[in-house]
Every structure is written in structure tokens, then in C-alpha cells.
Amino acid sequence: MSEDPEEGMLSWDESVFRDERVFEIDYVPETFQHRESQMRTLQYTLRPATRGSRPLNAMVRGPPGTGKTTAIQKLFGELRAETSDVHTVRVNCQMNATRYSVFARLFEGIFDYEPPASGISFKKLFGQVTEKLVEEDDVLVVALDDVNYLFYENEASDTLYSLLRAHEEYSGARIGVIVVSSDPSLEVIDELDSRVQSVFRPEDVYFNVYDREEIAGILRNRVERGFHDDVVSTTVLDYVAEKTAESGDLRVGIDLLRRAGLTAEMRASKVVEKRDVDEAYETSKFVHLSRSLESLSESETELLEVIAEHEGKQAGEVYEEFQAVSGLGYTRYSEIVNKLEDLGIVATNYAEVDGRGRSRELHLEYEPEAVLSRLE
């Protein structure tokens, strides 16, 4: 009997996915693998909050895609289940990179509605947050996720100072802080003002890069929950794990599985093949770049476009083009270059220029086409 060519094809109302949400960026897995020691340390720092005391502060460090945000989400979920007297607020500093916007998110987390869009000073905002905590005799635990973005905007010290010193201005205010950094080159403590260093003595929790076997195990768990049986073979899963290990970012692998599944569906195939993974990888490998670009302001985006169009040019030449587009001065230009370098999007190096000595050159860490296409 000949095989039916339609047997391996999806019908219009079928899907390879059992639960596609398993592959979304904010999905919190029931089983959080290979982070037991980190979770124990974080639980230790927050234990005082369950008894109504100020928790210990913590510093969570590690490269992107190593489970830091998931750990915070799991931890806060546990804390909310334990007691109703503790407010937990995770602030995405990539999107809230000023002291004011951080406290606006804290206000929202405590009052369950956003503060007025204008007409309220930081002092008043700060006062309303702390007064509410004191009035209700509650503890607040703040996670400044991607705190490195506060450093890029020179807002980290002021933000932490306000949080750590709140009890001095409002007696009885109990606030614990978890700072989460995804920038391996950032020395968090060293970059803070001395006034903050004197009071910020956090427990240090490091999230190392997952090894090849750990990646394969985590992705296997996602496949079992997210795909129907036999959609992703062991061979294909191992191939995805290999690609993920090369990037060092688990998010690449999770995104890759989802996109490969969607690619297979576009072919009306009931199974994901290596060719689907290869096609999807051309997008998934830029997960970190896409996420970084989301946080850029209009002027930062304009400079990145100029750099992409003038790859390898001297900093002075790039500034002239940027100034013509934006009208901004050299000081702001230099600040943006430094931020883009901190984000790992731009690299700078010095070269000898005839008659001018050493001059800085600007290079993209990615292909110009990849950057420009994601800015559109």
C-alpha cells in the first residue's frame, strides 16, 4: 500500500502546538530547573518580610537568558501566597529608566491604579507610596529588573538612595530591594555613589550560563508542555539545544522552538524539521538585539541609524551626520554612544589618523542590515 501524501499534513484547523503560551517570553514554568541554590539564597533574603520585618537586599547578576527574571517571578509568587502583608513589585527598568518612572510603577503596584500623568512631583509621589506602606503596616519588596538601564541613564544612585533611605524620612517604612543586572561588565556596587554604597550591602546571587545538558533538559520540558506528541524529534531538539548553547541565551532556544513550530505550520507539516529550525534561527538569533532596541529613545535610534549607515567611520564624522539629523550637541552624542556601547550594540576602538593622532572609530556589533531592519 502506498503512503498517503496527506497523512503528514495539517488540516486548516489543526496546530502543532498543545499550548503556544509555553514559548512566550513572560511564561513562568511550573518547574524551574537548575537554579535551586540561587532560589534558596533569595528565599533567605526575603524570609524576614513574611514576619513583618524589613527584608535583606539582594543583587542578582548574570548574562541575559539565565533565569533571573523567572526566579524573581517565582519568588514573588511564593511570597504573595505566604502573606498578604507584603507588596511585591517588579519594575522593568528597560522601560522605566528614571527614578520618577520607577516610583510611578511602585505607586501603581501599591494603589492598583496609575498616578496622574502630570502635575505630581517626585516628592509627592514618593510620599504617597511610603505613607501608604506605613498606614497599612505593610512591607514592600522591589525588584529593579535590568537595573543596568538605570545606570546607563545615570539614575541608579538616586533611585536606590530614595528606596534605601525611605525609613529615615518616613519612620516605619520597610522596603527591601533586589537589583537584577544583565550586563556582565557592570560593577554595580562600584558604580554607585558613596552615599548609596554605605547603606547597600546586598546578598550576591549569580546566575551562570546554562550548560549544554541543562539547556537540552529545559527545552525538552517546554517541548513536552508546548507541542503535541512527536512534533519535535530528539534529533531536532538536540539541534535546537546546540544552537542555543552557541548563543549562551536560553531565550534564543525558546523563541527558536516557537518560530520553528510556526514555520512547520506554514508548510502544513505535522512535524518540525531541521530546515524549520534553520529558517527560524535567522530571526531568533537576534532576540537580545531586538529586546535592546525596544528601549531606545528617538534620538538614540537616530544615532544608531547613522552609525549603521556609516559603519567604521570616525566618531567626529558620525557626529556631524547625527547633529544634522537631530540638532543635538556633542555631549549628548557622546552619552548616547556610551549607552549603545554598554548595551553591546556598538563597539568603539581607537585608530591612528594622519595629522590627527588617535581617533575613535564606531562599529556595530551586528550586521548593519539586521539593525536597520529592526528599527523600521
Q: What residues are designated binding site for ATP? A: 66-70, 210, 222
SS3 206: strand
Q: Whole-angstrom Cα distance, residue 165 to residue 170?
A: 9
In b/e form, how buried is each residue of 165-196, taking b as 16+ CB within 10 angstroms?
A: ebbeebeebbbbbbbbbbbeebebeeebeeeb
From first CA to last CA, the distance across the chain in angstroms is 53
SS3 96: coil
Three cell numbers, residue 155 = 539614575
SS3 327: coil
Complete edge-to-edge strand list for the sheet that includes strand 86-92: 86-92, 139-145, 174-181, 58-61, 203-206
Give every CB contact of residue 155 below 8 A, 6+ residues apart in sequence. Answer: 97, 98, 99, 102
* Residue numbering of the annotated binding site: 66-70, 210, 222
Backbone φ and ψ for 343, nearest 5 degrees, come out as -75, -10
Backbone φ and ψ for 57, nearest 5 degrees, come out as -85, 155
Q: How far is CA 299 from the centre of its chain?
A: 21
- Give 8's DSSP letter: T
The C-alpha cell 517565582 sits at 74
Tell me if 58 sits within 8 A of 206, measured CB to CB. Answer: no
Q: Whole-angstrom Cα distance, residue 44 to residue 36?
A: 12
